[in-house]
Amino acid sequence: MIHRPPPHPGLTGGPVYLDYNATTPVDPRVVEAMLPHLTGHFGNPSSTHPYGSEPRSALTAARAQVAELIGARPGEIVFTSSGSEADLLALRGATLAATRTRPHVITQATEHPAILATCQALELLHHARITVLPVDREGLVDPAALTAALDDDTVLVSVMVANNETGALQPVRELADAAHRAGALLHCDAAQAVGKIPLDVRELGADLLTVVGHKMYASKGAAALFVRDGVRLEPVVYGGGQERGLRAGTENVALAVALGAAAQLAADDLADGAHERIRGLRDELHQRLVDALPGRVRLNGPVEQRLPNTLNIGIDGVPGHRVLDGAPRIAASTGSACHSGIHTPSPVLTAMGTDPARALEAVRLSLGRWTTRDEIGAAATAIAAAVNVFAAGTR
């Protein structure tokens, strides 16, 4: 039996929210867990007097909750302020800790900008050598291509578990095996995957893995990096010995508690099969759109090998931003960027070989904990109506 969450006050009376991959509403149960650490339990967790004991215990419990969700040990969890910071700690930390004269880092073309920009900085500031692997038309890396790119100087491979736009799930285990055969570490940005699908860092073969709170119903500013025991990293913040000496500074206990509570709720959801409920709603939404717009809807990304909550579609002849402009009842996103009214196609889709004009037609619809069947019906109706209005106006 799937246990439905309590109603969320932030979603009452507004547009249908289908942008869960951008950010998730903070679960009221997460807010309840963190509130005592914003009010009564103000002590420094490093203090040895009684005011530090409750924050210290809460930090320990939160670390264990995050570890349990991903199959790690509590001591392997390092709290950070964001996924981007966790990615930086992983990439810069592993590169600077390596003994190579010119360390080699491998990533792939559809990574999050936090990874790609960090790789550029490593190349510019630390003389690293960067290889960016191509992806196929489904957005997947070929393990054979990784094997061919590895060499004696490769210190790190960074490949995301799931893409934020298409939901494409990379063959992480095969990539990990290839990296390890060459003596390299594997880092995974799992911001979009943690809590949506079952994940175990040992089964994945990941040495480093990024967890992001605001993608799994915790507050923004809460994140973590799994660092496998024995992996050496250069710290991202220098100073005291907090977070295994990798991130100095007094810990934000309230946000760590929020991440821990969210991890526990996610574990409960996965055990209850909530991801299968969401997969069913996603597929129903897709089918409703196909039925309402026959011959015009195409799927961007894999049919099967993707997140259960993610639907990225293109509608022939209609730019994605026009679809959403014409359907204000729907809160969703496109993969394009807009600068001064000029829209540019998604780098993710173009890296997959999608024609730029077709890439501009993309709309990403991502579902989550509070998505209902009634909302799916309303979204399909609103999107189809917007498409038909646009088509009529361009005749």
The answer to the question of residue 124 being in a domain is yes
Question: Is residue 157 helix, strand or coil?
Answer: strand
Token output for 192: 């979009």
Domain boundary among 212, 241, 270: 270
Do both 314 and 357 map to the same domain? yes
Chain-centre distance of CA 395, in angstroms? 40
**Residues 6+ away with beta carbon under 8 Å from 388:** none
The answer to the question of residue 8 being in a domain is no
Do both 257 and 322 map to the same domain? no
The answer to the question of residue 51 being in a domain is yes
Query: How do the residues of the chain divide into helix, strand and coil, expressed in percent and rounded to 5?
Result: 45, 15, 40
**Residues 6+ away with beta carbon under 8 Å from 144:** none
Distance of alpha carbon 276 from alpha carbon 272, whole angstroms: 9
Are 186 and 208 within 8 A, CB to CB? yes
Token output for 1: 């039996």
Distance of alpha carbon 312 from alpha carbon 323, whole angstroms: 13
The CA distances from residue 231 to 155, 186, 228, in Å, are: 11, 11, 6
pLDDT of 5: 78
Do both 230 and 294 map to the same domain? no
pLDDT of 377: 97
Adjacency order of strands within the sheet including 310-315: 297-299, 310-315, 362-366
Given the structure tokens 């005291």, which residue do they identify?
Answer: 240
Of the residues 338, 353, 355, 356, only one is catalytic, namely 338
Helices (H) and strands (E) in the chain, counts: 13, 14
Do both 318 and 388 map to the same domain? yes
Do both 308 and 350 map to the same domain? yes
- CA dihedral over 123, 128, 134, 135, signed as positive or negative: negative
Do both 197 and 63 map to the same domain? yes
338 is catalytic: yes
According to DSSP, residue 170 is labeled P
Token output for 325: 């402009």
CATH number at residue 69: 3.40.640.10
The answer to the question of residue 115 being in a domain is yes
Q: Report the half-sphere exposure of 230 (CA within 13 A, side-chain side).
A: 3
At position 328, the amino acid (one-letter code) is: P
pTM above 0.85, yes or no: yes
The answer to the question of residue 224 being in a domain is yes
Do both 226 and 327 map to the same domain? no
Burial 11-29, CB ≥16 within 10 A → b, else e: beeebbbbbbbeebbbbee
The answer to the question of residue 60 being in a domain is yes
The answer to the question of residue 67 being in a domain is yes
CATH number at residue 358: 3.90.1150.10
**Strand 310-315, strand 297-299: pairing:** antiparallel
- For residue 67, which phi and psi values (nearest 5 degrees)? -60, -45
pLDDT of 261: 98
The answer to the question of residue 82 being in a domain is yes
Do both 256 and 336 map to the same domain? no
Instruction: Tell me the DSSP string of 5-44.
Output: PPP-GGGTTS-EE-BTTT--PPPHHHHHHHGGGTTT--S-
Do both 298 and 155 map to the same domain? no
pLDDT of 1: 46
Are 139 and 163 within 8 A, CB to CB? yes
Distance of alpha carbon 343 from alpha carbon 360, whole angstroms: 8
Question: Is residue 51 helix, strand or coil?
Answer: helix
The CA distances from residue 197 to 190, 279, 386, in Å, are: 10, 11, 32
Domain boundary among 249, 270, 291: 270
Residue ranges making up the domain that contains 299: 273-393
Our count of domains for the chain comes to 2
Instruction: Tell me the DSSP string of 206-249.
Output: -SEEEEEGGGTTS-TT-EEEEE-TT-----SB-SSSTGGGTB-S
Do both 266 and 368 map to the same domain? no
Do both 277 and 152 map to the same domain? no
Are 23 and 215 within 8 A, CB to CB? yes
**pLDDT tens, residue order, the chain (395 aa):** 455 677 788 888 889 999 999 999 999 999 999 999 999 999 999 999 999 999 999 999 999 999 999 999 999 999 999 999 999 999 999 999 998 889 999 999 999 999 999 999 999 999 999 999 999 999 999 999 999 999 999 999 999 999 999 999 999 999 999 999 999 999 999 999 999 999 999 999 999 999 999 999 999 999 999 999 999 999 999 998 999 999 999 999 999 999 999 999 999 999 999 999 999 999 999 999 999 999 999 999 999 999 999 999 999 999 999 999 999 999 999 986 665 567 899 999 999 999 999 999 999 999 999 999 999 999 999 999 999 999 887 76
Do both 166 and 278 map to the same domain? no
Domain boundary among 270, 289, 304: 270
Chain-centre distance of CA 291, in angstroms? 30
